Structure 1
Amino acid sequence: MTFKMFHSPMTAIPALLFTILMLFPHGIAKAQLVDRVVAVVNDDIITLTELQENGREFLEKIQESVPEDQRRQALREAQERILAKLIDQHLISQEAAKVNIDLSDAEFEQSFARNLEKMGVTRQELLAKLKASGLSEEKYMEDQRNQLLRDKLILYEVRSKIIITDEMIREYYAAEYAEELQDGGYYLLQMGFTWGDSEEMRQSPGLLMADKARARREAVETRQQLLDGADFAELARQKSDLPSAVDGGDIGIFQEDEMALTMREAVVKLKAGEITPVLETQNTFQIFKLLSRRQGEVVQQVPFETVKEEIRKKLFESEFNKEYRKWIEEMKKAAYVKKML
């Protein structure tokens, strides 16, 4: 529901509250127990229900995994992060409407089909999952359409203005793949597939072995994708269970004596650009890629052409994140945003 407000920020909240009181003249206190406004973004409101629906999996995971004495604070911090994301989404949706960004039915259907293929499910399977999780098909489709509209606006306002030149790529290659190896060592990418993360699995040898087999299978299949030419950083972001996934698996430079034995024995045999076999380390199957190495005065680098597109993506992502945040902050400065969480 959209509430139209007066132009002056000083009168916006009273006008909104007056509208709500007119809609619910009786039993307003009771209604607030069911739902309440947690933020106002120009003419839009964000309710507690919207916040909880958008962060359902995240919030449920905290309820299940965080100790009781820390749970309240963890939930509060999670809600703040979810609300910040929702505020950004509302601002972008409003801007899309303002500049008349449109989305045809054909565009939506094509995008929806690509998402189904990416998720590896049929339309019927997706609808069954939505039903099981308590989400309606209408709400899901509305969210997807709004996301696509936001993506189109971001493409126009941010992505299209970022240019990564070959010179920038070569400068990054020279600095990151060679100059950092002044004291020797091995510059590595990493990805890992863990098993036995839950207490239930650790208490059941059968479940534990099945999960271990699943992790090994994922590692072997992913390594084959790498051998077939897939981008290591991209696959690490998509599939790795390790913290380094957010950096495309980049774990920087290691000296020989800093590596665990299994890792060291595999890595020292590599030439720049090569990957290790699947390595079993504690409860994780890992794969490493050597980007460059220095032994004595000899620096061996992964060939430029083999990492050129990987570097381009990394530079683009870095520039995009900076420009996107700048764009969002500019919209926030020009908007009326009030949190009431």
Structure 2
Amino acid sequence: MRREVMVFCYKLPSVLLITCWLFFQNSSYAAPQVIDRIDASVNSSIILFSDVAKFREIAPLRAQLDPLFQGTTIAEKGSNASEEEIVDFLINEKIILQEFKVTDAEVEQQINEIQAGNKINRTTLKSTLEAQGFLFDDYFDLIRASVAKRNLIDRDIRSKVSITDDDIKNYFYNHYARNAAASVSYKVRIITVTPENYKSLVAARETAARALQEIRRGEPFEDVAKRISDDPTAETGGDLGTLTEEQMSPFIKSILKNLQIGQTSEVISAPDGRLMILKLADLISADTERYEKMKDEIRNHLASSEYQHQISLWLERQRQVAFIHKAGQPSPVNPTR
């Protein structure tokens, strides 16, 4: 019996359904079956339902190649991520690929470098991928995305990420040393303004506020202390030295507990009536051996978090000017670039 095949493509609101109807002579039509659909569009690019399925299929390979995938929530979920999470990830990837275009030649160069580094040829690479259940074409696409993302990091993100020794000490103290048996000492600076030395309390408050304002504008705390403070430590820039918790009053301790290294307090009223500004200049833990062992690990952790934060800010800015439409949502107004 002769079989006729008829293919119909039609558009429904927000979603393009590509359906195939098989017609058999002397028989009824088969039920329509969705082959693919558009889940989202980003400017001139589209994200298909099959792209979501492909994401799940090659998630383990992406984890090896994608510099912005590792360590994220969606990476932890992998193939179990929801369709919405995957579509959002792919939208961000499309934005990066559009902003940092990578040619086929650049992808080939990157693959050749990988092959040279691993001392393998293209045939071996393809057979290795096939043994793991992956296609070379998918590998090629992931390399393109990874090159684009590294270009984003190198050109727009890296210069914005800086982890200081104070950042590392703060993290170590807040996450490891605070509740440990080893003692912690505080290096503190102070500025005091005593109301009795001024015509009025209002004048004293204005002086203290001006001191804080000058510090926040970038003037060194020590210089402001020498010029304004009436504490005996003024000559040394307000240096109180290094104090243990046992050497501090409960009032001072409560202020310092809420400061990070290098941070300055607001103007505070002390129990004795003085106005003061405190700076936590440094933290010194007795557990120095543990700190030294963990320093590089903490630095890498903080850097990774800051990279993710800066990339999120970059993507947020780009999404505000991109034409993004998800299936099932009202058509967006074209943003002004």
> Which TM-score applies when normalising by structure 2?
0.45
Based on CA coordinates, which of the two structures has the bigger radius of gyration?
Answer: 2
